Amino acid sequence: MATTQAENMVFCDLINAMLHENLLGFREKGIVSSAWMNASGSGPYPLDEGERYFYVPLDGQRTVMFRVFPRRFLQAYKISRLPVVLLTEREGSLTAQELHPAEFMRVVADSVSEAERAAALPNVHDFLDELSDAVRHTELSLAAMREHAIKRNEYDSLLLQMERFSALRDRPFHPTSRAKRGWNDDDYQRYSPEFGQSFGLDWIAVRRDHIQASTGQEAAAFILNESERETLRLAAVRAGIDDENYLLLPVHPWQMEHVLPSLYQTEMARKICVPVIRGLGAFRATSSVRALAAPGNEHYHVKVPIGIYSLGALRVLPPRYLHNGQKGQALLRQLIEKDALLHNRLRVCDESNWWGYSEPDGDPFADKPGHLACLIREYPRDLLEDEHVHLIPMSALAVLDRSGENPVFAQWAAKRFGVQTGKTEVLALFREIAQVFVETTLTCFRYGIMPEVHGQNVLVIIRNERACGLLLRDHDTIRVHLPWLEREGLADPAYVVKPGTPNSLINETPAHLLSYFQTLGVQVNLYAIADALSASYAIEEALFWQEIKSVIGSHIDVPSAVRDVLQQQLMESETWPTRLLLTPLLKRTGTGGGSMPAGVGTTINPLKCVGAEDESIQLR
């Protein structure tokens, strides 16, 4: 059975996640062998050097088989290549059926008891659809890569170029990260960032007594040019809208067509919400899909809700998220003024201007208000206008193109070193990235604060081809440990949290706060970059972990209480927390709102897997 490149990408991430999370005992049930099932030799699926068969017995007759490589870091085995095969024994004969991703999940789900399915897989049918969407949308994304591959001489182009490239991988290691549930092929190709399509925004007037806002300014002033603002003004006049009673909000065109007419039908009938104009301006999606930029006005991005599912979450903007983002940003700015290292190294986008629908007597925690809102993200003008500065989303460093290269990293390395890039140069540049990232984030931790440190939200500031700082965006999940905040004279940010829901913003222990650095910061962000560079330059993965361990071990001086937590949790503990992807997604019930289903498991401490043998590798 031939598999497409897209299916290969989705399926390998799926199998690796199953192994990593031990979902339904998948890893524990596994039998690793160099022998073909019940026979000598390798059967119809031969092994390459270092490969092993991984057998997962399902019942007395059926077994799932795939080939793996042993791994040292984070998980013991990863799939080496497809296919994934269902082996069935009947009356002494063995038949083999090569599976697609959805077929595989059905086979595994059907192999457990009804009670196990109800407990662990209540969302399995929706997940099967999501797998199919993931394969299809990945196919479309790969086609976009073929048609619009980044050219090396475009490294100095707009930040949007990096955003488009980042979107080709989206959330690293997640099998359904590229699935945008609710979009058909045409929608995906028009609105997903990989395709670089521009589109206008729709505008709706909302009665001011149904608006919650952080500012008295108008969104149009930030994102429309003078001519477009005049067009909007005239359209509002024709619609009978006056400034005193109404506020104009931008709406994603897909949202206006598919969500608002039904969700806000009553409000439109009562003239609380009045559509004004469609298709105004020219915007392109960034890697987050919801954040849009107008070429030529890239100081300002506008973030708008889209009622689709991505990573298991509705892409909406609940007012509490906007409120918490403003509070988180204010906390970061206080921190930057307080600490000398952060003052020189850390910058933040301004996300203090936002507007959202608010029913005076409605449920503030319902999904509905999050479908009609917007936020303005302002990038530091001095960074965008300095010809010696480049901004690179860390997620853009974790993607490989069709030739197996990362052109963003390759161009940076060529400019930096002026020679053909080899192991020494790659590791030196990776260490520089890791040094800036680790020192900055752990300095924040020293004050009881952990920014959202996955690759999409963190941009590396490159000045004269050297990594010199970080720019943070998307501040609605700035996590804190209140006793350390209080110790440092920083106030409780007063976040708004939905009652009865898991709260990751306020962390009861320093170790819990640090876990977000270990999971999102190291395993999702830095390791995704290392994984890509290891594949592209054929460098042993262990050497990247050695650099990460070295950087963490040489962190700047901190108070003894902080040092003790870092030493115990990062260096001495036998295990690290790890982010679960499939388990919470398969357990989800209801809409889940705007929060990605999240769970935490444990994995082997990757820093304890780094040994003296890795230093000998580097010296070879």
Q: Give the pLDDT confidence of 154-210 residue by residue, as tens digits.
A: 433 568 888 888 988 888 899 999 999 999 999 999 999 989 899 999 999 999 999
Q: Domain check: are 105 and 187 in the same one?
A: no
C-alpha to C-alpha distance for 452 and 151, rounded to whole angstroms: 30
Quote the pLDDT of residue 544. Answer: 97
Quote the pLDDT of residue 505. Answer: 95
Q: Domain check: are 423 and 549 in the same one?
A: yes
Name the pLDDT band for 556 (thresholds 50, 70, 90). Answer: low
In a domain, 216, yes or no: yes
In a domain, 363, yes or no: yes
Whether residue 83 is preceded by a cis peptide bond, meaning omega within 30 degrees of 0, is: yes
Q: Domain check: are 464 and 434 in the same one?
A: yes
Q: How many domains does the chain have?
A: 3
Quote the pLDDT of residue 40. Answer: 56
Q: Domain check: are 400 and 262 in the same one?
A: no
Phi/psi of residue 65, each to 5°?
-130, 140
The single residue listed with the structure tokens 């004004």 is 276
Quote the pLDDT of residue 590. Answer: 67
User: Residue 541: which of 75, 81, 175 has the closest Cα?
Assistant: 75
DSSP state of 217: S
In a domain, 130, yes or no: no
Q: Domain check: are 283 and 335 in the same one?
A: yes
C-alpha to C-alpha distance for 389 and 128, rounded to whole angstroms: 44
DSSP state of 570: I
Q: How many CA atoms lie within 13 A of 86 on its CB side?
A: 19
In a domain, 418, yes or no: yes
The three-state secondary structure class of 478 is: coil
In a domain, 9, yes or no: yes
Domain boundary among 334, 357, 378: 378
DSSP H helices, 192-339, are 220-223, 226-238, 253-258, 260-263, 265-269, 319-338
- Helix and strand numbers (H, E) in the chain are 24, 23
- Rounded mean pLDDT of the chain? 91
Domain boundary among 378, 411, 428: 378
The single residue listed with the structure tokens 């092994």 is 47
Average pLDDT, stretch 250-270? Answer: 97
C-alpha to C-alpha distance for 585 and 428, rounded to whole angstroms: 38
pLDDT > 70? residue 612? no
Burial call 168-205: b when 16+ CB within 10 Å, e when fewer: bbbbbbbbbbbbbbbbeeebbbbbbbbbbeebbbbbbb
Q: List residues bridging with 181 in a β-sheet.
A: 309
Quote the pLDDT of residue 311. Answer: 83
Question: Are residues 70 and 77 in contact, defined by beta-carbon separation less than 8 angstroms?
Answer: yes
Contacts 24+ apart (CB under 8 A), 61-70: 61/88, 61/89, 61/90, 62/86, 62/87, 62/88, 62/89, 62/107, 62/111, 63/37, 63/87, 63/88, 63/89, 64/99, 64/104, 64/107, 64/108, 65/37, 66/15, 68/32
For the ranges 432-441, 541-550, 598-607, the lowest mean pLDDT is seen at 598-607
> Would you say the pTM of this structure is higher than 0.85?
yes
Quote the pLDDT of residue 171. Answer: 86
C-alpha to C-alpha distance for 303 and 183, rounded to whole angstroms: 18
Q: Domain check: are 106 and 162 in the same one?
A: no
Q: Which amino acid is at 593?
A: G
In a domain, 385, yes or no: no
Contacts 24+ apart (CB under 8 A), 390-393: 390/155, 390/156, 390/461, 390/462, 391/159, 391/162, 391/459, 391/460, 391/461, 391/462, 391/471, 392/162, 392/459, 392/460, 392/462, 393/162, 393/163, 393/166, 393/287, 393/455, 393/456, 393/458, 393/459, 393/460
Q: Domain check: are 281 and 371 in the same one?
A: yes
Digit-coded pLDDT (tens) for 11-64:
999 999 999 999 999 999 999 999 987 665 567 899 999 999 999 999 888 999
Q: Domain check: are 215 and 89 in the same one?
A: no
Q: Domain check: are 465 and 529 in the same one?
A: yes
Range of the domain at 229: 138-378
pLDDT > 90? residue 317? yes
Digit-coded pLDDT (tens) for 489-506:
999 999 998 887 778 899
Higher pLDDT, 598 or 472: 472
Question: Are residues 97 and 88 in contact, defined by beta-carbon separation less than 8 angstroms?
Answer: yes
Which tokens in the block code for residue 317?
A: 């903007």
> Max alpha carbon distance in the chain (Å)?
83
Percentage above 70 pLDDT, the chain: 94
Q: What is the CATH number of the domain that holds 565?
A: 1.10.510.40
pLDDT > 50? residue 616? no
Name the pLDDT band for 3 (thresholds 50, 70, 90). Answer: low
Phi/psi of residue 510, each to 5°?
-60, -35
The single residue listed with the structure tokens 């909406």 is 316
Which tokens in the block code for residue 292?
A: 């849009």
Q: What is the CATH number of the domain that holds 53?
A: 3.30.310
Average pLDDT, stretch 448-465? Answer: 96
Q: Domain check: are 104 and 47 in the same one?
A: yes
Q: Domain check: are 340 and 437 in the same one?
A: no
In a domain, 46, yes or no: yes
Give the CA radius of gyration of the chain.
25
pLDDT > 60? residue 614? no
The three-state secondary structure class of 200 is: strand
Q: Domain check: are 109 and 163 in the same one?
A: no
In a domain, 127, yes or no: no
Name the pLDDT band for 381 (thresholds 50, 70, 90). Answer: very high
Q: Which amino acid is at 572?
A: E
C-alpha to C-alpha distance for 472 and 612, rounded to whole angstroms: 36
Phi/psi of residue 252, each to 5°?
-60, 135
pLDDT > 50? residue 2? no
Domain boundary among 378, 403, 438: 378
